[in-house]
Amino acid sequence: MRGGVAAVTEPAALATELPAGRSTGWWGMALFIATESTLFAALLGSYFYLRFQAGPQWPPAGIRPPELFLPLIMTALLLPSSLPLLWAERGIRRGQQWRLRAGLAATIALGASFLSLQAMEYASSLEEFTFTTDVYGSLYYVITGFHGAHVTIGLLMLTWLLAAALRGKFGVRRHERVRIAALYWHFVDLVWAAILFTVYLSPRL
């Protein structure tokens, strides 16, 4: 249609050719993460508020402090799961489709194993207490369940990225969505550290 110089300097072309500064999408996700972090902060804050108002014994009588074995394995799966994603993002910046796909697949696998271990954990703790047993049970299941829901949403986003990646939708200059979704995953990932501390480690302190 238009030839030569015009084709690359006219605004429509420039819009997709020249990444400069942070995009609106990046800011949107950053702000969304800010408000979600506040939500988790309020939730974990409520945990400590209720715990310290509940009296000296925590967990309350009849419930043992949480086992650490499984949660530590889950941590070992989830925290490093950001690395393949970073590697994938670097890859697509250089146009390496295979790295994007492989990295996404690896992160998805790690996240999915995390969720299955969480299911196993629930299976054993449900034998001891449920979310209606007392406030400890309510906190335990709601906090971990809420985080689990975030991991699930993160996984859906990554799967969606993988589907688009397999269709070759991303390229050297067109991978904003990868960057933004990755941001969310790193957040879900980091929140787990705070949950590990609050729910699993702090009762033993």
Partner 1 sequence: MSTVAELPAGAGPAPAEQLAARWEEPRTVRAWFTTVDHKRIGRRYLVTASVFFGLAGVSAILLRTQLAGPEAGLLSPQEYNQLFSMHGTAMIFLFATPMLFGFGNFLVPLMIGARDMAFPRLNAFGYWVFLFAGVFMWASLPAGAAPNGGWFAYVPLTDEVNSPGLHLDVYTLGLLFLGISTTAGAINFIVTALKLRAPGMSLNRVPIFVWAIVATSFMVLFALPALNLDNGLLFLDRRFGTHFFDPEAGGNVLLWQHLFWIFGHPDVYIIVMPALGIVSAVLPAFCRRGLVAYPLVVLGVVSISIISFGVWAHHMFATGLPQLSLSFFSAASSIITIPSGLQLFAWLTTMLLGRLVMRAPLLFVIGFIVTFVIGGFTGAMFALTAFDQQVTDSYFVVAHFHYVLFGGAVFPILAAVYFWLPKITGRMFSERLARWAFWLIFIGMNVTFFPMHLSGLFGMPRRVYTYPEGLGWDPWNLLATLGSYILAVGLLLVVVGVVHALRRGKPAADDPWGGDTLEWATTSPPAPYNFPVLPEVHSLHPVWDPRTAESVAAGAPEARTLAEGRQTIRTSELDARYEQPIEMPESSLRPLVAATGLLVVFGGLLFDWYWVAAGGGLLLALTMVGWLWPPAEPT
Selected binder of partner 1 within 56, 94, 132, 205 (CB under 8 A): 132
Q: Are 65 and 162 in contact (CB under 8 A)?
A: no
Residue 54 binds partner 1, judged by CB under 8 A: yes
Among 90-98, 101-109, 156-164, 197-205, the segment contacting partner 1 (CB under 8 A): 156-164
149 lines the binding site for partner 1 (CB under 8 A): no
Distances (CA, A) of 39 to 10, 22, 32, 111, 150: 44, 25, 11, 22, 12
Interior angle at CA 67, CA 61 and CA 55, nearest 5:
30
5 binds partner 1 (CB under 8 A): no
Q: How far is the CB of 49 from partner 1 (least distance, A)?
A: 6
Query: What sign results for the dihedral spanned by CA atoms 157, 159, 162, 166?
Result: negative
- Contact between residue 92 and residue 166 where contact means Cβ atoms under 8 Å apart: no
User: Which residues bind to partner 1, rule: CB under 8 A?
Assistant: 1, 10-16, 18, 20-24, 27-28, 31-32, 34-36, 38-39, 41-43, 46, 49-50, 53-55, 60, 131-139, 142, 156, 160, 164, 169-170, 174, 177
